[in-house]
Amino acid sequence: MSPTASGPAVSDPRVSDHLRPASDDADLDPGVYRVVGASEDALTLLRVGDAGARRVNTGELATVDRADLDGFERADNPDGNRPASETVAGVLDSLVWQLRAFASGLRANPLAAVVAIALVVVGHQGHRVLSVPDTWLTAVYFLGVFGVVYLGARGG
For the entire predicted model, the pTM comes to: 0.50
pLDDT on residue 103: 92
Q: How far apart are CA 26 and CA 64, in angstroms?
A: 11
3-state secondary structure (DSSP) of residue 44: strand
pLDDT per residue, tens digit, the chain (156 aa), is 334 444 555 778 888 889 988 876 667 888 899 999 988 888 899 999 888 888 888 888 989 888 888 888 888 888 766 677 877 888 888 899 999 999 998 999 999 999 999 999 999 999 888 899 999 999 999 999 999 999 998 864
- Sequence-ordered list of residues with C-beta below 8 angstroms from that of 88, at least 6 positions apart, any chain: none
pLDDT (0 to 100) of residue 4: 42
Q: What's the start-to-end Cα distance of the chain, in Å?
A: 51
DSSP conformation class of 19:
E
Closest CA to 112 of 137, 138, 149: 149
Q: Give pLDDT, residue 116.
A: 95
| pLDDT of the residue at 83 | 72
Residue spans of the domains in the chain: they are 18-80, 84-154
The distance of Cα 94 from the centroid of its chain, to the nearest Å, equals 9
The rounded distance, in Å, linking the Cα atoms of 111 and 123 is: 18
Q: What's the confidence (pLDDT) of residue 45?
A: 92
Cα separation, 97 vs 8, whole angstroms? 43
Q: What is the pLDDT of residue 26?
A: 66
Residue 3 has a pLDDT of 41
